[in-house]
Structure 1
Amino acid sequence: MKTAIMGFGNPVRSDDGVGCYVIDQLRKSLGEQPEVNLFDMGTSAFEVLFQLRGHDRILIVDAVINTGEAPGTLYKLPAHEVEAAIQDDPMVFLHSLKWDQALSYARKILLREYPDDVQVYLIAVDDTKLKVNLSDAVRAAGDRVVALLRDSLLVNS
């Protein structure tokens, strides 16, 4: 099963960078895997849409703020529960496009090649100040996601 794993976030905004942290840790622990593509998305999304073609599964990792839960709380859900409606506005600014909107565009662009299996791992955060370190709770949650993703890859290989 060919899998795309996409980590989103801003690594200079403290805990918001947890998605990028997860991708970095997966690169270190997995090495090169022919059936797994790791995408450190940072804060961009649109340019990767065409690279999703041919994947059977997409796994997304990102921070979520204002959940009311403790930092480090982990949520896993199917993407259709949080996918934003597509915007047919030709003036959509590519740098302001978020992953949930990008998935809507991917569905439209890839048509039948859009995979049925798209899962989202969200980690609750409350610190998005201008600094480069993750809090201990969010780093621990990122490490849990790395372990879950590695286990998922082993089960589906």
Structure 2
Amino acid sequence: MNTIKTAILGFGNPVRSDDAIGVYVANELQQKLTDREDVCIFDMGTSAFEVLFKLKGHHRIILVDGVINSGEPDGTLFRLPADEIQAQIQHDPLLFLHGMKWDQALSYAKKMMGDEFPAGHIQVYLIAISEIKIDMNLGNIVKSAGDKLVATILQDL
């Protein structure tokens, strides 16, 4: 029986306060999943494009990112439905490689993985944020939401 490999991608800028929530979740999961060979965790903070090449061979992709201007309070967790995820996969010729967001990453991953792209096995979690000033610390509400998401993902795995 083949092992189902899962890739978890945490997006964000670690020096832009709450924008680092995806990277925070990825780092927390990395500490808790050190013995799991079926799970690969990727920090998509500043080397996002290079990481996409490592997705080949993964059967499931979980993405975590912050979302600004959602209209919801900070810390609100969104889990996007599969049809909305597929609608976000599109070509973006103006991609800024050090500022890649989850939808851009999926677009390029689909191109690079071709037939191996796990279209039906993608989960996107977004956490509402409003603070993106230069700061190395997450706000308490957003950090708490990140901790709850870590627990959710651990239970799901």
Following TM superposition, by how much is the alpha carbon of 1:66 offset from its aligned partner in structure 2, in angstroms?
0.3
Answer whether contact 1:9 1:41 (CA < 8 A) is retained.
yes
Structure 1: which 5+ runs fail to align? none
Distance in 2, Cα, partners of 1:149 & 1:123: 14
Q: Assess, with a 3 A threshold, how the Cα gap between structure 1 residues 97 and 113 changes in structure 2: closer, same or farther.
A: same
Aligned length: 151
Structure-2-length-normalised TM-score: 0.88
Following TM superposition, by how much is the alpha carbon of 1:46 offset from its aligned partner in structure 2, in angstroms?
1.6
- Letter of the aligned partner of 1:54 in structure 2? G
Distance in 1, Cα, partners of 2:77 & 2:154: 16
Answer whether contact 1:44 1:97 (CA < 8 A) is retained.
no
Aligned partner of 1:123 in structure 2 is 127
Distance in 1, Cα, partners of 2:57 & 2:103: 20
- Letter of the aligned partner of 1:107 in structure 2? K
Distance in 1, Cα, partners of 2:42 & 2:82: 17
Following TM superposition, by how much is the alpha carbon of 1:24 offset from its aligned partner in structure 2, in angstroms?
1.2
Distance in 2, Cα, partners of 1:133 & 1:127: 10
Aligned partner of 1:86 in structure 2 is 91
1:56-135 to 2 correspondence within 5 Å?
Answer: 56-78=59-81, 81-82=84-85, 83-87=88-92, 89=93, 92-115=95-118, 116-135=120-139
3-state DSSP of counterpart to 1:61 = strand
Following TM superposition, by how much is the alpha carbon of 1:100 offset from its aligned partner in structure 2, in angstroms?
1.1
Following TM superposition, by how much is the alpha carbon of 1:99 offset from its aligned partner in structure 2, in angstroms?
2.8
Following TM superposition, by how much is the alpha carbon of 1:17 offset from its aligned partner in structure 2, in angstroms?
0.4
- Letter of the aligned partner of 1:7 in structure 2? G
Please point out which of 3, 24, 27 is paired with 2:27: 24
Structure-1-length-normalised TM-score: 0.88
Q: Assess, with a 3 A threshold, how the Cα gap between structure 1 residues 7 and 96 changes in structure 2: closer, same or farther.
A: closer
Answer whether contact 2:45 2:98 (CA < 8 A) is retained.
no
CA RMSD of aligned residues (A): 1.7
Following TM superposition, by how much is the alpha carbon of 1:92 offset from its aligned partner in structure 2, in angstroms?
4.7
Following TM superposition, by how much is the alpha carbon of 1:84 offset from its aligned partner in structure 2, in angstroms?
4.3
Structure 2: which 5+ runs fail to align? none
Distance in 2, Cα, partners of 1:150 & 1:103: 22
Following TM superposition, by how much is the alpha carbon of 1:137 offset from its aligned partner in structure 2, in angstroms?
0.7
Please point out which of 126, 134, 148 is paired with 2:152: 148
Aligned partner of 1:2 in structure 2 is 5
Following TM superposition, by how much is the alpha carbon of 1:44 offset from its aligned partner in structure 2, in angstroms?
3.9
Distance in 1, Cα, partners of 2:21 & 2:100: 19
Following TM superposition, by how much is the alpha carbon of 1:77 offset from its aligned partner in structure 2, in angstroms?
1.1
Following TM superposition, by how much is the alpha carbon of 1:45 offset from its aligned partner in structure 2, in angstroms?
2.3
Answer whether contact 1:45 1:99 (CA < 8 A) is retained.
no
Following TM superposition, by how much is the alpha carbon of 1:134 offset from its aligned partner in structure 2, in angstroms?
0.7
* Percent identity for Structure 1 against Structure 2: 54
